[in-house]
C-alpha cells in the first residue's frame, strides 16, 4: 500500500479511491498523464470501505455492478450472488487495484483539506490535512455522492454511555449484539438492511422510524455458473445495453403503458409477478409510476397491502405503511424486513408521533418514554451529493468557494454535473445534476471518467490550458435538470434527492433524471462540438478560443 509515484507537481490530482478514483487514475495513466490520488481511508473501496454495517449489500445486480471498460477484468472476476454484499464489492475493488497496479498512485490515510485555484499559475493548489502542498493542472473529485454521513444534532448526543455507530462508518471488527439492547434510528436503505440482521442477534431491537419506507423484496440468490458463463460470453452486448439504457440497468420498463390502462385484476397480476421476481424492477412495472399520481397510487397501495399481510400486529403494520408517492424517495430493497416486526424481540417506535427529545447516558428519550439501550445505531443517512464536496475547502476564481457559489439559494450549480463555472480545470465524477445515484453508479462513473479523460487528451493535443463552463451553458443545464425533475413526483416529496434531509441545506433537485443513455448522448455531442459550451484558453496566447 505504498505510494511510489508521489509528486508535488502533477498533471492531475484525484480525490478518492472508490469506483470513481480508481478508474480515473487508470484512465489518466494510460493516456500518459502524471496523476496523484488521495484517499482518506487506509485502502481502496470508497463507500464500500466504510459501509460495513450488518446486511450491507448493493441493490444493483452484481453482473452489472462492476467496471465494463476492460474485457480482462470482466473475464477474470466472478460474482457469487445476484446482489453483491459489501465484503465482496470491496474484494472486487481490491482485485482491480492489484490487477491494474493502482495503489502506487494513491496516497492513503490522507484527507484533502483544501483545493484552491491559482489564477496566475493557472493551477490548482492542493493542501492535505497534514499540511502537504501539491500543484496540479487538473483537480478531479471522486468523492462519492453518499459519503458525508449525517448524524442529527440530537440534544445530549455525546452523553450516551453505550456504543454508538453510524452505518456509513462501521468498525472493522464485528460488533457483537448478543445479549444487547439495540436502538436503530432511520429506516432508509441502510436501516432496512441492518434491521433483520441485528434482530437475529440482539436481545432486543428498537427501531425508531420517522418516515416509513416502501420496501420491496430483493430476492437474492447464488448465481448459477452456467448463467455467469453466458454473461461473460455476451458481455459486449450487455455493456452496450447498459451504457445506453435509461438507468444503467438491464431491466427496463416492463409494460410500456400507463398503470391505469389495466384493470385492477390485471394490474395486481403484473405487480405480483414483478414482486416475486424481486430487485429494483418494481418501479418499472408501468411507464407512468413516477409521473402520474393516480398510477403511482396503484403501486403504493399494492405495497401497503403486502405490508399489512406480512406484519401480524395491525397497529405495527399501520405504522409501517407509507403514504407518500412510491419511489419518489429512493426505493428500498429488503430481505425479511417486514417479517422482522413479527419477532418478539423487535419494537417499532414511530418518532413522528412521539419525537426523539434527547440522547441520554442510558439511551434515547422520546416524548413518551426513555428507552434504555446498550448500542445505538444511526442509520440516518447522508448529506448527499454536495456534502462530500463541501467537506473540502474548494475555491475557484476570485477565491470564491464552491459552498458560497452553491448555497446562495439559486438553482444554478453545474454544467453537466461534471464542471462548474468559476472553477477552471476542475471535474466532478458523478457530481450534482448528473445521473449518478439515479442510475447504476459504476456505469455513470465510467462515462464521466472517459469523458474527462477524452477532454484532457483533447486539451493536450490542441494546446489548451484551461477549460471552464460558460455561465449561460451552466444556467441552461441547471434549469433543464430542474424542469425534468419537476415533471416527476420526486420533487413533491422531501428526501435526500431534494436536500430536505439536512437542516439548513438549500433545496433543489440534485440529480439529472433524463436517463443515462440520453445523458451520454448530450455529453458526447458537447465533445464532438469541440467543447464550444466552455470557455477555453490556449497555452501560449492565453486568449479565449470561443
Q: Does 103 bind ligand NAP (CB under 6 A)?
A: no
CA gyration radius, the chain: 24
Contact 425, 466 (CB under 8 A): yes
Q: Does 147 bind ligand NAP (CB under 6 A)?
A: no
Most distant CA atoms of the chain, gap in Å: 75
Q: List the one residue from 356, 428, 456, 489 that touches ligand NAP (CB under 6 A).
A: 356
Contact letters for ligand NAP, residues 401-440 (x by CB under 6 A): ------------------------------------x---
Contact 435, 518 (CB under 8 A): no
274-333 residues near ligand NAP, rule: CB under 6 A: 330
Q: How far is Cα 223 from Cα 59, in angstroms, rounded to an integer?
A: 15
Question: Which of these, 343, 299, 345, lies nearest to 322 by C-alpha position?
Answer: 299
Q: How far is Cα 155 from Cα 151, in angstroms, rounded to an integer?
A: 12
Q: Does 195 bind ligand NAP (CB under 6 A)?
A: no
Q: Does 211 bind ligand NAP (CB under 6 A)?
A: yes
**How far, in Å, are 47, 142, 176, 390, 440 from residue 50 at the CA level?**
5, 15, 18, 19, 19
Q: Does 190 bind ligand NAP (CB under 6 A)?
A: yes
- What's the grid cell of residue 474? 451552466
Minimum Å gap between C-beta 250 and ligand NAP is 16
**Which residue has the CB atom at the shortest distance from ligand NAP?**
188
Q: List the one residue from 19, 138, 160, 382 that touches ligand NAP (CB under 6 A).
A: 382
Question: Which of these, 143, 101, 131, 129, lies nearest to 4 by C-alpha position?
Answer: 101
Q: List the one residue from 74, 90, 242, 379 that touches ligand NAP (CB under 6 A).
A: 379
Q: Is 513 helix (H, G, I), strand (E, B) or coil?
A: coil
**How far, in Å, are 59, 398, 488, 546 from residue 225 at the CA level?**
21, 57, 40, 54
Minimum Å gap between C-beta 503 and ligand NAP is 9
155-184 residues near ligand NAP, rule: CB under 6 A: 167
H/E stretch holding 459 reads: helix 441-462
50-79 residues near ligand NAP, rule: CB under 6 A: 57-59
CB nearer ligand NAP, residue 133 or residue 352: 352
CB nearer ligand NAP, residue 146 or residue 523: 146
Q: List the one residue from 18, 84, 279, 381 that touches ligand NAP (CB under 6 A).
A: 381
Stretch that binds ligand NAP, among 119-127, 188-196, 257-265, 367-375 (CB under 6 A): 188-196
Q: Which residues in this chain contact ligand NAP in the complex, by CB under 6 A?
A: 57-59, 146, 152, 167, 185-191, 193, 210-211, 330, 351, 356, 379-382, 437, 496, 501
Amino acid at each position: 500500500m505504498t505510494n511510489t509515484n508521489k509528486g508535488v507537481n502533477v498533471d492531475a490530482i484525484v480525490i478518492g479511491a472508490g469506483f470513481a478514483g480508481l478508474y480515473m487514475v487508470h484512465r489518466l495513466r494510460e493516456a500518459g498523464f502524471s496523476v496523484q490520488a488521495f484517499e482518506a481511508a487506509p485502502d481502496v473501496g470508497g463507500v464500500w470501505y466504510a459501509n460495513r454495517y450488518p446486511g450491507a449489500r448493493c441493490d444493483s445486480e452484481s453482473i452489472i455492478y462492476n467496471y465494463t471498460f476492460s474485457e480482462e477484468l470482466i473475464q477474470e472476476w466472478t460474482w457469487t450472488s445476484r446482489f453483491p454484499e459489501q465484503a465482496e464489492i470491496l474484494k472486487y475493488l481490491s482485485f482491480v487495484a492489484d490487477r491494474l497496479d493502482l495503489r502506487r498512485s494513491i496516497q492513503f490515510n490522507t484527507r484533502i483539506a483544501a483545493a484552491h485555484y491559482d489564477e496566475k499559475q493557472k493551477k490548482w493548489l492542493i493542501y492535505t490535512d497534514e499540511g502537504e502542498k501539491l500543484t496540479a493542472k487538473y483537480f478531479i473529485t471522486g468523492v462519492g455522492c453518499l459519503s458525508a454521513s449525517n448524524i442529527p444534532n440530537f440534544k445530549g448526543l455525546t452523553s450516551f454511555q453505550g456504543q454508538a455507530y453510524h452505518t456509513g462508518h462501521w468498525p472493522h471488527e464485528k460488533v457483537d449484539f448478543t445479549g444487547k439492547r439495540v436502538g436503530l434510528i432511520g429506516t432508509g436503505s441502510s436501516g432496512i438492511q441492518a434491521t433483520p440482521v441485528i434482530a437475529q442477534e440482539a436481545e432486543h431491537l428498537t427501531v425508531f422510524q420517522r418516515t416509513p419506507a416502501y420496501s420491496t423484496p430483493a430476492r437474492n440468490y447464488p448465481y448459477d455458473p452456467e448463467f455467469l458463463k453466458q454473461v461473460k460470453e455476451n458481455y459486449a452486448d450487455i455493456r452496450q445495453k447498459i451504457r445506453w439504457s435509461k438507468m444503467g440497468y438491464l431491466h427496463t420498463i416492463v409494460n410500456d403503458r400507463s398503470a391505469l390502462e389495466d384493470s385492477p385484476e390485471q394490474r395486481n397480476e403484473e405487480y405480483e409477478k414483478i414482486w416475486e421476481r424481486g430487485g429494483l424492477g418494481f418501479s418499472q412495472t408501468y411507464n407512468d409510476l413516477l409521473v402520474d399520481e393516480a398510477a403511482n397510487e396503484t403501486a403504493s397501495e399494492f405495497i401497503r397491502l403486502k405490508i399489512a399481510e406480512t406484519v401480524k400486529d395491525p397497529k405495527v403494520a399501520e405504522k409501517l405503511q407509507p403514504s407518500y408517492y412510491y419511489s419518489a424517495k429512493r426505493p428500498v430493497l429488503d430481505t425479511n424486513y417486514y417479517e422482522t416486526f413479527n419477532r418478539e424481540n423487535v419494537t417499532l417506535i414511530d418518532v413522528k408521533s412521539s419525537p426523539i427529545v434527547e440522547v441520554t447516558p442510558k439511551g434515547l428519550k422520546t416524548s413518551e418514554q426513555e428507552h434504555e439501550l446498550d448500542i445505538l445505531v444511526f442509520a440516518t443517512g447522508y448529506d448527499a451529493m454536495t456534502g462530500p464536496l463541501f467537506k473540502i475547502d474548494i475555491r475557484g476564481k476570485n477565491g470564491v468557494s464552491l459552498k458560497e457559489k452553491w448555497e446562495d439559494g439559486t438553482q444554478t450549480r453545474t454544467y453537466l454535473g461534471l464542471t462548474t463555472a468559476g472553477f477552471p480545470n476542475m471535474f466532478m465524477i458523478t457530481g450534482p445534476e448528473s445521473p449518478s445515484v439515479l442510475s447504476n453508479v459504476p456505469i455513470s462513473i465510467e462515462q464521466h471518467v472517459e469523458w474527462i479523460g477524452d477532454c484532457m487528451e483533447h486539451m493536450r493535443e490542441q494546446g489548451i490550458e484551461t477549460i471552464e463552463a460558460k455561465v449561460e451553458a451552466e444556467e441552461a443545464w441547471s434549469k433543464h435538470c430542474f424542469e425534468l425533475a419537476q415533471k416527476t413526483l420526486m420533487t413533491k416529496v422531501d428526501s435526500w434527492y431534494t436536500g430536505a434531509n439536512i437542516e439548513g441545506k438549500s433545496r433543489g433537485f440534485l440529480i439529472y433524471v433524463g436517463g443515462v443513455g440520453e445523458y451520454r448522448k448530450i455529453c458526447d455531442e458537447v465533445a464532438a462540438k469541440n467543447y464550444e459550451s466552455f470557455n477555453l484558453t490556449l497555452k501560449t496566447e492565453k486568449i479565449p478560443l470561443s
